[in-house]
């Protein structure tokens, strides 16, 4: 194994700029390099990309290339940050206000320079965003993977040419994975090698919530019963539903964990029994989950949620909480008849489902046994192994 570092000067930076890549970066030229091109930042919310890439890093050199960050500096440069899970995080820093064509050229130069520095020969390209084609279509990988975890074109603020880029990516891709069965049904009409890999779970991580834990300080003073949600609070979250349910049951406490993104924080309901605690790390989530009676998925029913397969569904169950969700297609399909995930589509029905979930939670041994049967052998390790098998069949 060779060491491409420590990098005393990040790619593209002038000697006058401070060094941010003092840690040594491990690179093994004898194994393939997986370049993951993501619209999500590694340090934002720990979800599908982080689960998969941290596991691929056990067998591949994994480079996680994020979208650019604007800087006041005059020249583009690439921040290289070794992650503790063996993934190299690459963050392009570009001068603010750079126009589109020059942005693509700068990204291509930064990426090419880094790949040349590592002397990468065996390359796998893994796309989460088709928009990355603008600076990667010239590369010559052994395999191209498109992991379509969401229908990005349905999200607020989606680039107008995203669908055009996706059509090109589907032509180039050797292999397409989808984040759920609903997406698979759509993408299989557009590509001949599509495989559904719904959201999975690290059961051991979330099962720690089943044991008694001291409540985190910002949750300890909140009364019971506690009904909780964690995740990104954005256009997929049904703000009105939460407000109405909280109004119907002022004696219940609603704990909301996660960053507020793309919606006005002023639009969030403000009631004495609704508690917004902000974002938490992946390692902290079981501590909060341990203090809940019921876990919630109050998703809006709109274009942005039409194809989602929420990771939190099996995570909540592994943590020992019954779940109440709005009728998201993939949730209904996978868990609607499970008996541990209850579905409701109006505020009144949501309250009734939560009351039933509280009854389930009261008989904890029976609920945990039932939840474990539903989870079965589900795991991110299994999902990653099956994906790797599909890739290796093409290499």
Contact 297, 318 (CB under 8 A): no
What pLDDT does residue 151 have? 84
| Token pair in block for residue 90 | 């690459």
- Integer Cα distance of 354 and 365 in angstroms: 19
What pLDDT does residue 213 have? 79
Give pLDDT tens digits for 137-159: 999 999 999 999 988 877 777 78
Domain boundaries of the chain, sorted by first residue: 2-200+380-394, 203-375
Instruction: Count CA within 13 A, CB hemisphere, residue 60.
Output: 27
What angle separates helix 239-248 from helix 347-362, to the nearest 10 degrees?
70
- Integer Cα distance of 249 and 258 in angstroms: 23
Q: Helix, strand, coil % (nearest 5) of the chain?
A: 35, 20, 45
- Average pLDDT for 280-295: 97
| Token pair in block for residue 101 | 């064509």
Per the document, the length of the chain is 395
Single pTM value for the model: 0.90
CA 219 remoteness from chain centre = 24
Q: 2-200+380-394 in CATH: which number?
A: 3.40.50.2000
Give pLDDT tens digits for 360-373: 999 999 999 999 99
- Average pLDDT for 216-227: 97
Q: State the CATH architecture for 203-375.
A: 3-Layer(aba) Sandwich (3.40)
What pLDDT does residue 68 have? 96
Query: Where is average pLDDT lowest: 18-27, 54-63, 189-198, 271-280?
Result: 18-27
- Burial status of residue 383 (CB atoms within 10 A of its CB: 0-12, 13-18, 19 or more): buried
Q: Establish whether domains 2-200+380-394 and 203-375 are of one fold.
A: yes
């Amino acid at each position: 194994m060779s060491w491409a570092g420590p990098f005393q000067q990040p790619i593209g930076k002038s000697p006058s700029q401070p060094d941010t890549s003092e840690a040594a970066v491990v690179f093994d030229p004898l194994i393939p390099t997986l370049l993951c091109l993501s619209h999500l930042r590694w340090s934002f919310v720990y979800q599908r990309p982080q689960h998969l890439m941290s596991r691929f890093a056990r067998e591949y050199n994994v480079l996680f290339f994020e979208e650019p960050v604007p800087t006041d500096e005059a020249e583009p440069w690439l921040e290289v940050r070794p992650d503790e899970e063996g993934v190299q995080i690459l963050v392009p820093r570009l001068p603010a206000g750079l126009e589109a064509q020059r942005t693509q050229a700068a990204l291509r130069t930064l990426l090419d320079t880094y790949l040349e520095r590592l002397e990468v020969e065996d390359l796998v390209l893994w796309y989460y965003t088709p928009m990355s084609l603008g600076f990667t279509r010239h590369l010559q990988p052994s395999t191209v993977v498109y992991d379509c975890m969401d229908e990005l074109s349905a999200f607020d603020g989606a680039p107008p040419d995203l669908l055009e880029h996706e059509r090109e990516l589907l032509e180039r891709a050797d292999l397409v994975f989808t984040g759920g069965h609903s997406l698979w049904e759509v993408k299989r009409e557009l590509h001949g090698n599509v495989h559904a890999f719904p959201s999975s779970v690290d059961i051991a991580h979330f099962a720690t919530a089943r044991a008694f834990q001291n409540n985190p300080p910002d949750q300890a003073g909140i009364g019971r019963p506690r009904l909780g949600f964690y995740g990104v609070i954005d256009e997929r979250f049904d703000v009105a539903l939460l407000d109405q349910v909280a109004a119907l049951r002022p004696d219940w406490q609603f704990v909301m964990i996660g960053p507020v993104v793309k919606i006005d924080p002023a639009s969030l309901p403000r009631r004495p029994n609704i508690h917004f605690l902000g974002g938490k790390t992946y390692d902290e989530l079981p501590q909060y989950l341990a203090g809940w009676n019921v876990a919630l998925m109050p998703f809006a029913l709109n274009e942005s949620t039409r194809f989602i397969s929420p990771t939190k569904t099996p995570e909540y169950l592994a943590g020992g909480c019954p779940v109440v969700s709005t009728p998201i297609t993939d949730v209904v399909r996978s868990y609607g008849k499970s008996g541990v995930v209850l579905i409701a589509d109006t505020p009144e029905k949501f309250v009734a489902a939560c009351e039933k979930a509280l009854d389930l939670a009261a008989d904890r041994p029976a609920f945990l046994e039932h939840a474990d049967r539903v989870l079965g052998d589900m795991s991110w390790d299994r999902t990653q192994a099956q994906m790797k098998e599909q890739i290796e069949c093409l290499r």
